[in-house]
Amino acid sequence: MTVSATLRRGCGLRPLRFSTVHNSRADSLRVGHRRHHRVVFADLLDLTLPRLCVHCRRPGPLLCAECCPGTPEWVERRGGPVATARTYAGGVRAAVVHFKERRRLDLGPTLGALLGEAARLVLEVAGGPLTLVAVPSPPSVARTRGGQHVERLARHAERYLSRNDVATLSRALVSVGRRSDAVGLDAAQRVINVSGTLRASRPAARARPVVIVDDVATTGATLAEAERALTGAGWTVAGCAVIAATRRIPQEF
Ligand SMILES: [Zn+2]
């Protein structure tokens, strides 16, 4: 039998009539296939394109050592000391911006490891185990970024650290009310901007203290608001940890 005849007669299997089957299973199959193709395509790109540093564009890690200088340290911010992995500048700043504004999700493990390094400072002081609680973005911001990016980073930090030491608690904080973009605001305006915008979603049900985690600390107003919300609901806050803290703080805090 010729190839064309085989095609005309079919191969004996009942054809999948996706075009006439409008049910959720068919839809999920289609979505699954698309996702699979995207994953395969991304894997092929990984094999064919060199990985470049997000900042200096040299082949190698997504954030090379030269573009990520420094070691974790404590910095003083509104509400108290904050553990930070690096200074918010250069390659670290570029990686954070690409991750949250340009959906470079492949940077998640790298940034999550940095967040884990900062959380480890809190662990050294407070002891473990601790629970990571991510500062949520307002829903409208999360929608444009494709989800809660800090919670995503907290999951990567959890994988970087021992699961015996930390566990991420989803949605322990929820965003309420309006919070504008803080860029350009001075210290006092930032406090007003975040005041009353976070709420604990549940009362403290566990004895395990929490570490509040965020991507960047500027004045520390958002972290202080998160701490206020959690302690008000009975949670014990062991400390705050961020990927990066700004070198300069808008005015005095
Ligand atoms: Zn680099």
pLDDT, tens digit, for every residue of 103-129?
Answer: 999 999 999 999 999 999 999 999 989
Residue 197: what pLDDT?
A: 86
**C-alpha 214 – ligand 1 centre gap (Å):** 23
**C-alpha 62 – ligand 1 centre gap (Å):** 8
Per-residue pLDDT of 194-246, as tens digits, reads: 888 899 987 776 668 999 999 999 999 999 999 999 999 999 999 999 999 99
Give the residue carrying structure tokens 């062991």: 238
| pTM for the whole structure | 0.77
Per-residue pLDDT of 68-79, as tens digits, reads: 999 999 999 988
Query: What residues are neighbours of ligand 1 (ion), with CB under 5 Å?
Result: 53, 55-56, 64, 67
Phi then psi dihedrals of residue 225, to 5 deg: -65, -40
Residue 186: what pLDDT?
A: 74
Residue 5: what pLDDT?
A: 38
**C-alpha 145 – ligand 1 centre gap (Å):** 24
**C-alpha 29 – ligand 1 centre gap (Å):** 40
The H or E element that residue 213 is part of is strand 210-217
CATH fold label, 70-245: Rossmann fold (3.40.50)
Determine how many CB atoms are found less than 10 A away from the CB of residue 41: 10
- Chain-centroid distance of CA 105 in Å reads 9
**C-alpha 90 – ligand 1 centre gap (Å):** 9
Residues 6+ apart with CB under 8 A from 175: 136, 137, 138, 139, 197, 198
Residues 6+ apart with CB under 8 A from 114: 68, 85, 86, 92, 243, 244
155: left (phi over 0), alpha (psi -120 to 50) or beta: alpha
